[in-house]
Chain A
């Protein structure tokens, strides 16, 4: 019998159990899944007819359980939107990370946004002068949360060869998640840094910068408002 995926006569679809109250919930969810797939399960493999180990195997092969947090973190960490700006020579390497040879589009990070309001990752590619620091902080503050920051190169991590009166390290004014060392780092080093950040977001999604810096409750719009 070919089943129609959309029930023509009422709420209970053709794949959902009707009067048979003895079926357990797993079968119900399976039938809902079968419904989504257009009811292509026919004959002997029909889940309603499976029992015991066969049923368990059927479920294990087809159902993946997860939490919403993990799913959201997975989605976020595979689609960073970096802010499109460079400060100095590291920016050249940053461009090459987006170029065809390194191609960070493979991981979903290629959408460099021109506005901080559309970005969730700021890559400080170069040296930050004292005069520039408030402007960068302002860009960072304009980004929507959750947001992350990568300090790329020696200058904005430890001030490198420019350790003098003019510069300020990024940690002084920004919560930096990942430092990428190098002078400048090669594009693959930046890529490695972004992948480290991806792993960080996936493994520990709750550890945002507010938690690390005791800044819970300092949001401009409190959560829940």
Chain B
């Protein structure tokens, strides 16, 4: 984990790609420009963060910009972690795909697209991965209805109740 000073140095090296740095409970986080995420991750890889441990989405509803994508990087030789975050508005949720550089991001970006509707530009196969292909909406968004079904048993089915009466 870079300490607070190390994180500031790292942010300075990345230049205007970094929008904000957060150092909280010994976890270093960079908030970066969505258009430059690929460059940022490449620079961090050159620093030794060679393993993309996770890509996941967040919905910050009702804050704007609403949707977030979080990249967890790990330096396996120093056992050092850093979190890279970005935020995109919900009406234009476009992020550059990093699947070209990090093959592990392929399926994880598909999952973020499936659950949050973030569009990854340059992803070669951006389809739904968990929900059925004809599913409407992105179910992990916070304004998506909780869903579920009213419980129906065979004996409570309307047709069957009429017959019994």
Main secondary structure of the interface of A (DSSP, over half): loop
B15 interface contact, C-beta 8 A: no
A177 surroundings in chain B (CB, below 8 A): 154
A158 surroundings in chain B (CB, below 8 A): 151, 153
Establish whether residues B160 and A130, one from each chain, have CB atoms under 8 Å apart when the complex forms: no
Establish whether residues B154 and A166, one from each chain, have CB atoms under 8 Å apart when the complex forms: no
Interface size on B, residues (CB 8 A): 18
A157 surroundings in chain B (CB, below 8 A): 151, 153
Query: Per-position contact with A for B135-165: 1 when CB-CB < 8 Å, else 0?
Result: 1000100001111110111100101100000
A51 interface contact, C-beta 8 A: no
A20 to B132, CA, bound (A): 78
Query: Per-position contact with B for A161-202: 1 when CB-CB < 8 Å, else 0?
Result: 001111111011001110100000000000000000000000
Contact of B146 among A164, A167, A168, A212 (CB under 8 A): A164
Closest chain B CB from A133 CB (angstroms): 9
A83 interface contact, C-beta 8 A: no
Contact of B154 among A165, A168, A171, A214 (CB under 8 A): A171
Contact of A175 among B145, B151, B154 (CB under 8 A): B154
Establish whether residues B149 and A163, one from each chain, have CB atoms under 8 Å apart when the complex forms: yes
Closest chain A CB from B134 CB (angstroms): 10
A57 interface contact, C-beta 8 A: no
A171 surroundings in chain B (CB, below 8 A): 152-154, 157
Closest chain B CB from A83 CB (angstroms): 20
A172 surroundings in chain B (CB, below 8 A): 149, 152
Establish whether residues B160 and A212, one from each chain, have CB atoms under 8 Å apart when the complex forms: yes
Contact of A165 among B146, B159, B160 (CB under 8 A): B146
Contact of A159 among B130, B132, B151, B159 (CB under 8 A): B151
Establish whether residues B131 and A163, one from each chain, have CB atoms under 8 Å apart when the complex forms: no
Closest chain A CB from B129 CB (angstroms): 10
B132 surroundings in chain A (CB, below 8 A): 130-131
Say yes or no: A168-B149 contact (C-beta < 8 A), given A175-B154, A212-B154, A214-B159. yes
Q: Mark B residues whose CB is within 8 Å of A.
A: 130-132, 135, 139, 144-149, 151-154, 157, 159-160
Q: Mark A residues whose CB is within 8 Å of B.
A: 130-131, 157-159, 163-169, 171-172, 175-177, 179, 212-214
